[in-house]
Chain A
């Protein structure tokens, strides 16, 4: 793939929640993590990342706490709330169903 593909609309939330399911992380970390895990395929649009984080926080799926980053800077760490964890499960299941269905359509000769 020559060019990292844009994130499908609405999937950014899902990726953020999944990433945060491991351990609390700051915005920068989330972006890096998604890039690495997706083997550089998914480039998070940084302009969209922070509004998405604030939105998820407002909705109560994640919460934020100030802490110290690996390079000793003050950073805002986000973590999943119990409700957020439940929401993630739902969304993940939904996504799997969807991608399975799309695969079916694409691979059926």
Chain B
């Protein structure tokens, strides 16, 4: 039997994998993509536009399934979509909450869509904060790739002229709601920026996809492809090239190598047939998400790579960072009490944001290094979550719920943890998943710096509510458990020195020139911005490199 060999095997179809698949197929390379889960059927699996009373448990979910519905996104709206079979463990002392979507498209099916560019303030992490490392590139080098991906996916925002948050190429922004105008006035008084977020949600048609219809159900999928996700946008274009072989329910197990340690393919579990298979390629792109990518590479042990493939630096799985999330403040705006309802939740939390304003003039002006951003939300949400917290019963209670409905506000912090030697993932020496593959074991604690940001945000956000004429009512007792944000970075960090970094500045592993990484694992540190847009911009750059390497004969075409 002739062994089929592809030019490139891509593991994963989310932000990184999906972008790589499209870029490589459009460049004419033969691509085999492995995706650990199934393909979603938008008609069946995207259950939005339905009302809560049209579902069994009113969207609260079956209480009996509470234990297995792990995490906040894994609920009745998207039952059967999130992954439950592939576990992970947390080392003693670590709490890790980690909902994962292995469906085709990964988390882009249901992501938050906030899409800010990283800037030099992020890349010069070490120089400015004394922590972590500087990134091996400048903003000027990556900016064209941001423009390319923004043009592809469509990002709505405004030009804001803040070097810490470089402006991109934007569609018209979402309109501010009443609560945005009120809070913006309050923030202005404190010198805190309150601006339209960058949101990968269309206010104009892009690539033939209609603009948003503002139903507000984005977090459970879009039936018109009006916010960016790879199944709607990248994968159909890749498939149209006829260069793509997409294998679903194909759980990557390890990367296959030859005697020199070069990548020759991928071993994967065909989950439908419950058997192991192999696929061969001239280059391999790992894009399974930060921790899964590192897990696959750590599980790729051979005589040449006894500690996992491309791990001669010993940094694979290390430098793990995450975004601390949590409700920094909540309250209500009396101005809006009893006013007519208004569709406030059309873009969820991504209509406005308070982009990093700390440590900009002087990197040491605060009691912490680096900085964080904040997302405001509130108003007329689909469910009046404050109602349970509102005391009482009877007509007076009912009236209070109604009066308060448009007025609630809350602030959610997004703050980067620091890359510390104590925060990392490795393979659990005991626990294997149902296919016999060792699972990821998490070692992670919030560091003091990020906890200082949390404390800082609680004060500032309370002040913003008060300065806006609002009533501050409280905050979360503690930040969310690590893992919650799904913004992990660092496990395959990029840098010039092969002894200290897993990948080079192009996301190519130092040890194995035909092995590339296209996800947030290559980011050496976390920032105040979300990861998805940058994953895609860096992936386009990596793919340019891959295509060049095929053109120049570094990798040979099949």
**Do these two chains interact?**
no
> A residues near B, CB below 8 A?
none
> B residues near A, CB below 8 A?
none
